[in-house]
Structure 1
Amino acid sequence: MTNDDLRPVYFLSDSTGITAETLGSTLLTQFPAGNFDRVTIPFITTVEQAQAVVGTIDELAATGLRPIVFSTAVSTDIRKTLATCKGVIVDLIGSHVGQLEEALGTPASGEPGRAHGLGNAARYQSRMAAVEYAMEHDDGQSLRALEKAQVILVAPSRCGKTPTTMYLALQHGIFAANFPLVDEDFDKEGLPKPLRPFISKCFGLSSNPLRLSQIRTERRRGSPYASLRQCGFELRSAERLYVSHGIPYLNSATVSVEEMAATILQQMKLKH
């Protein structure tokens, strides 16, 4: 497939671009047959910068398919400027601001960066503290202050513990630790001793043997650790452990980090 076969998609923002990417990409998932060439342009903070972006999009539109443009610009002037482009513009903010102004009886602030920046200082600091906690308690490195954890992810190696705890921390401000299950835990068929006082906070992850073997092979090709037999043994043993201790769990093999995090938040009734 060449670049000529790809529909250009732009994510534009006067802040980080995270919201534009997230919402725009979510909409694009409804069109699985589409092939897209994605470009994110963050921090469009002046009308001049917006005009330059419009020029780029217009040049591209003149050569073929009209680019699809997702915008989360908050500034009215920048929004109006971007709206003049010859792409197919999807204004993810402006189309709803008027409704909210009417409903709330007050004008919008028009300040960019409040979703992912320092607009809510307390929430931002809470997220950063959660990230530090997740890093300290990654893969059972530290057992200090486990009582502060809101959730402890438990799983064999390479089942997605680390990315999930980091996502919970960064996106939701959840204090999440994770703890690896190893052969000696399966030999004893009991919950590892450090976790026993916190069983109500534990949530298990599993996978399927083939997928886990593929992931482990990328790290240690040809090792017993990556063998299909070992992966199958660990996953079966882990699931028995979860069931015997009443620990909720999910299979991470075909589930995104975002979906895993949402499931954990729901099943563990975590507030964020």
Structure 2
Amino acid sequence: MKNLGQSRDVFYVSDGTAITCETLGHVVLGQFSVTAREKTFPFVESDHKVDELIREINQSYERNGVKPLVFFSIVVPHIRTKLLASCAHCYDVLESVVAQVKGDLNMEPKPQLQRSHSVAKDSDKYFDRIAAIEYTLAHDDGVSLKNIDQADIILLGVSRSGKTPTSLYMAMQFGLRVVNYPFIDDDIKRLRLLPEFEIHRHKLFGLTIDPERLTEIRENRLAGSDYASTEQCLQELASVESLFRREAIPYINTSSLSVEEISTRVLERAGLKRRLF
């Protein structure tokens, strides 16, 4: 978040994982010039946990003189009541949506602790996702091309163009099996696809990046090396983008995109369906 306005302590609180609260909180706060000092409190489902949380909230108020912001999703009524009585601005991330759906469906909701994705309930989906993560890790950064026929998508690009975080995000969030392969000097000199990729052309997708951004990233990893030099980055990117165009491989520039945005655009352009968990 941009440091252009006020700063504020922000708490994400849930009786589940708190991922939904974090996601919606980030989207909302992204609309304001606020620097957030964030803390996440998952599985707040007992008096002991909510009392500890309220102490932290009240200490924040006493320390800073302003109420912290709390994005929460709590089902247990008395725990919810306790939280709402704290020295904070509290926002129920589901309340308004649930109320509207209730009216549209003319049906009473049945609140429950956020354990809807437990292993016992969704065991097949859970283990499918674990298998996708294991497959993606085993095929990270060109380590192995074994069982490449099982891949849902194959990401190609120069080193440090965002392939690994994108691969892992798609595996963890959508249960996709992803191979990612970095073009190295030998590949760039040959400027052709590996034979293993030829029969899987429909799965290929390229990632590229601005040379200035690539140089910056590589400098942080190996400062002063040829690998991080502007000339090397320019040469690699020009060669690989030429390959993408020649072989009609779709590709996107990742320079200003988050891993969520990269993944979504890759899935959309590749025509892959999300597998939600």
TM-score, normalisation: structure 1: 0.90
In structure 2, stretches of 5+ residues that fail to align are 1-5
Residues 27-84 of structure 1: CA distance to partner in whole angstroms, max 9, x if unpaired? Answer: 11111x2122111112211134223322432343345111111002233333233222
Partner of 1:194: 196
Amino acid at match of 2:116: R
Match of 2:3 in 1: none
1:239 corresponding residue in structure 2: 241
Aligned to 2:27: 26
Q: Which amino acid aligns with 2:51?
A: Q
- CA separation in 2, counterparts of 1:112 and 1:156? 41
Asked if 1:225 corresponds to 2:227, the answer is yes
Instruction: Kindly report structure 1 stretches of 4+ aligned residues shifted beyond 4 Å.
Output: none
**Residue pairs, 1:26-105, within 5 angstroms:** 26-31=27-32, 33-63=33-63, 64-101=65-102, 103=105, 105=107
The alignment partner of 1:35 has SS state of strand
| One-letter code aligned to 1:212 | L
CA–CA separation in structure 1 for the residues paired with 2:225 and 2:68 = 47
Indicate how the Cα distance of structure 1 residues 139 and 266 shifts in structure 2: closer, same or farther if over 3 A, else same.
Answer: same
Residue identity in the other structure for 1:170: M
Report the alpha carbon displacement of residue 101 of structure 1 after superposing the two structures with TM. 4.6
Q: Secondary structure at the match of 1:114?
A: coil
Match of 1:168 among 167, 170, 185: 170
Which deviations, in whole Å up to 9, do the C-alpha atoms of 1:108-162 show, x marking residues without a partner?
Answer: 25122325x4353332222111100100111111111111111100001111111
CA distance, structure 2, for counterparts of residue 24 and residue 73 of structure 1 = 15
Mapping for residues 73-152 of structure 1, pairs under 5 Å: 73-101=74-102, 103=105, 105=107, 107-114=109-116, 117-118=118-119, 119-152=121-154
Q: Is the 8 A contact 1:79 1:94 kept in 2?
A: no
Indicate which of 213, 216, 222 corresponds to 2:215.
213
The answer (yes or no) to whether the contact 2:152–2:178 under 8 Å persists in 1 is yes
- SS of residue paired to 1:191: coil
| One-letter amino acid matched to 2:151 | A
User: Unaligned 5+ residue runs, structure 1?
Assistant: none
Q: Secondary structure at the match of 1:10?
A: strand
For residues 204 and 75 of structure 2, what CA distance do their matches in structure 1 show? 41
Q: Root-mean-square deviation (CA), in Å?
A: 2.0
**For residue 222 of structure 1, what is the amino acid of its counterpart?**
G
Q: Is 1:8–1:68's contact at 8 Å kept on the other side of the alignment?
A: yes
Deviation at 1:270, TM superposition (A): 1.0
1:59–1:221 CA distance, 2 compared to 1 (3 A): closer
Identity of aligned residues (%): 36
Tell whether the 8 Å contact from 1:9 to 1:36 is kept in structure 2 after alignment.
yes
The one-letter code sitting in structure 1 at the alignment partner of 2:141 is D
The one-letter code sitting in structure 1 at the alignment partner of 2:268 is Q
Deviation at 1:183, TM superposition (A): 2.1
Q: Distance in 1 between matches of 2:81 and 2:200?
A: 53
Q: 2:257 aligns with which of 252, 255, 265?
A: 255
Question: Match for 2:271: what amino acid?
Answer: K
Distance 1:145 1:83 in 2: 53
Count of residue correspondences: 267
For 1:82 and 1:237, locate their aligned partners in 2 and report how far apart those are by CA, in whole Å.
57
